[in-house]
Amino acid sequence: MPANQEATADVDPAPQRRSLVGRTFAGLRERGQRLVRARAWRLRLFGLLAVQAGIAAAIAWFVAYQFLDNSSPVFAPTTAVGIVAAAMGSRLRRTAELLAGVVLGLAVGDTLMPLFGIGPWQTGLVVVLAIIVAILLKGGGSLLTQAGGTAVLIATLEPPVRDLSVPRFVDAAVGGLIGLAVGLLLVPIHPQRTVQRLAEPVLDPGMAAMHDLAAALRARDLGEAQRSLRRLRDLDPRLTALEEGLSAAQEVVRLAPLRWRDRTSLAFYTEAVRHLERTLHSCRSIARRLTTALKDDEPIPAELPAAIDLLADGVQTLRSSIRAREGPHKAREQILMAVEMVGRARGEAGLDPTRPHTHRLGYSGLIAVGEFRTAAHDLLIASGLDADPAAELVRRAVDQDEQD
């Protein structure tokens, strides 16, 4: 037997199999932990909505049964739950849409069902017509959904008679007001805590993607840079949820007496979060430009990925200082140091022909530097500075680098 075959035969495959099994179980355990953390986060964020919906449904059913003489209240608790479910957004606007949808569904259903009777095609026809009317009225998603859902209830749960249209609408109106009262007055959300929890799944993966981008730039790994850019783009739905959470929090501190004392602090949170959102948009532009720079084989000075790492650290430091109600001095220092580093990277793009070409920035790199300074400016505003002082600090950091 040749020597290489003997060596192959002597290799024990059992350790390799054990190693593969171990890595597989480690990956499964890590994915399981991430899933548990994600579910726990959703429970912390939306658990109160379940309580609000249960309380609103119970009160709405009781009021409709006891005071509206409705032996089978359906629309009052249904509408109350729909209003509570509209918590992450403009609740007043969605309340109006939901009630308008109920009116449309009732009108179309009570008009057509006595003529055609109850059946599958009748139900489909009523739903189609109710949603068409809502579309012609330029209604939003809530109005369309509620109009169609109410039409289904009219077509399937009630006999085709006309005399109940007003009580049904009264039921729905009472349920909507009760849902609004529970969500805004009786059990309002905690505005700051809600915004903080909505910001977590935006900032953490966003800054992790920036660190991964910096590592990709050091290794000139185009594939990893593209993956970092894709992760930043995938944050759009979470940014939308954060915007809706901000709207809900602002509505609560404006209308809920229990939360009036939070108006000042929420105003600071809102300003900070909005500029952090703008920073994330700038980070996406930075990632896009630097990915293009790698694709075009442009030079990437070492200061550029170091500055990206420092900027991402500054975001996390600023977030921690805001949550702990501490001064943002350390975060500002990190942000301005990152600006200086980017300035040094840009300064190496001089015209001296004796300097190596590998130390110069190309077209996309220069645009990324401008986006970087915009991100730093927004972060300084998020830390509590006004726009003009923040711009002055960025200019000083740039001028300091040029003097050096």
Q: What number is the average pLDDT over the span 318-344?
A: 90
Retrieve residue 399's tokens: 């001028």
pLDDT tens, position by position, 349-368: 444 444 444 446 899 999 99
Of 162-166, 196-200, 202-206, 213-217, minimum mean pLDDT range: 162-166
pLDDT digits (tens, 9 = 90+) for 250-274: 888 888 888 888 888 888 888 888 8
Which secondary structure element, helix H or strand E, spans residue 279, and what is its range? helix 263-295
Q: Tokens 């489909």 correspond to what residue?
A: 124
- The whole-angstrom distance between residue 247's C-alpha and the CA centroid of its chain comes to 12
* Long-range contacts, stretch 241-245, CB < 8 angstroms, 24+ apart: 241/88, 241/198, 242/195, 242/198, 242/199, 242/202, 242/273, 242/277, 243/277, 244/88, 244/89, 245/88, 245/194, 245/195, 245/198
| CA-wise closest residue to 102 among 170, 164, 42 | 170
User: Which among 196, 109, 205 has a CA at the least distance from the CA of 157?
Assistant: 109
Tell me, what's the pLDDT at 349?
42
Distances from the Cα of 106 to the Cαs of 101, 143, 337, 384, in angstroms? 8, 13, 63, 51
pTM of the model: 0.69
**Per-residue model confidence as pLDDT tens digits over 92-128:** 666 677 777 777 777 777 777 777 777 788 778 877 8
Closest alpha carbon to 154 in 197, 222, 102 = 102
pLDDT of 355 reads: 46
User: Position 121: which residue type?
Assistant: W
Query: Could you read off the pLDDT of 287-319 as tens digits, one per residue?
Result: 999 999 999 999 999 999 999 999 999 999 998
Residue 158's pLDDT band, with cuts at 50, 70 and 90, is low
Residue-level pLDDT at 286:
96
DSSP per-residue letters across 194-244: HHHHHHHHHHHHHHHHHHHHHHHHHHT-HHHHHHHHHHHHTTHHHHHHHHH
Cβ(309)–Cβ(372) under 8 Å?
no
- List pLDDT tens digits, range 11-28: 456 666 666 666 677 667
Q: Which of 47, 45, 139 is nearest to 93 (CA)?
A: 139
Looking at residue 7, what is its pLDDT? Answer: 46
